[in-house]
Copies of this chain bind each other. A is one copy, B any other.
Amino acid sequence: MTDLSPRIAEKHGRPCAAGQAARDDPLVARLQSFVALTRADLDSFYATMEAEQPIKKRRDLVLDGYEFCKLGFIKDGFAARYKLLRNGKRQIINFLLPGDMVGMPGSFLDRAPNSVIAISDMTLQVCALSAFVALCGRQPKFALALSWLAAQEAAIYAEHIIDIGRRSPLERLAHFLLEIHSRLNGVGRADDAGFDLPFTQEMMSDALGLSVPHLNRTLARLRAEGLIAVNERRVEFSDAKALALLAQFQPIHPTPIPFAADD
């Protein structure tokens, strides 16, 4: 029904055009795990983008309570979605990594339900939500891709609820490290052995619902038990097997969009 260019004949799950783009665009890398994108698709996608914005560390990207109607895709850098409470406590809901979306769920609601702050220098691709909607009208696969991304987001949040609600601090931290590693790995920002932690302990404690001292001790315990090794912000999984077992970690993999026959 849509104008799928017949140029690509490959089977599902193994797209497609533009290995080029995939290499420098983490979002494309993510999308290609569940939807085939032709070069034409990518072109019309990039055409909806307004600009590639550089963002300074510590800049607020979204403000809790305000209307927000852009869609931002992180090309590089890190951010945190959080909420500040009356009592001064902060809960980090999620860390945003390359390939993640900034306007979700804020742009879909009358006002953003939380804030987003850059925790490193970033580069962002931005478009108006209405422009993306228009694109979806022409090519429904993008609307479906959006749903798929949103579902992944929800699945990640669900794990965070489980982390904070019922996992012990040790399991919680183990699960967190594995999750971040898995997500970074999915966009080519980590290797099998480990990754560079882009967060401070204060941020992690605010994400995991712990106090900073306790997070610190818990991290020390993971080290003491020989599960991880940390130096210079780099985390190595000394015993990935045991760590995954401790955390009961199940990686999140999207299923390909089940297009009927063609595609």
Which residues of A line the B interface, CB within 8 A? 1-2, 65, 67, 69, 81, 83, 85-86, 89-91, 93-94, 104-105, 107-111, 113-114, 129-130, 133-134, 136-138, 140, 143-144, 146-148, 150-155, 157-162, 164-167, 208-209, 248, 250, 252-255, 257-260
In the complex, A99→B2 CA distance in Å? 30
> What distance in Å separates the Cβ of A175 from its nearest Cβ neighbour in chain B?
11
| Interface contact B150-A248, CB-CB below 8 Å | no
> What distance in Å separates the Cβ of A197 from its nearest Cβ neighbour in chain B?
20
> What distance in Å separates the Cβ of A163 from its nearest Cβ neighbour in chain B?
9
- Most chain-B CB neighbours within 10 Å: which of A89, A140, A161? A161
Instruction: Give how many copies assemble into the complex.
Output: 2
| Interface contact A105-B151, CB-CB below 8 Å | yes
| Interface contact B104-A151, CB-CB below 8 Å | yes
| Interface contact A165-B166, CB-CB below 8 Å | no
| Interface contact B148-A108, CB-CB below 8 Å | yes
The contact of A161 among B136, B161, B167, B248, by CB within 8 Å, is: B161
| Interface contact A166-B104, CB-CB below 8 Å | no
* Neighbouring B residues of A146 by C-beta, 8 Å: 143-144, 147
In the complex, A161→B207 CA distance in Å? 9
* Neighbouring B residues of A150 by C-beta, 8 Å: 147, 150-151, 153-154
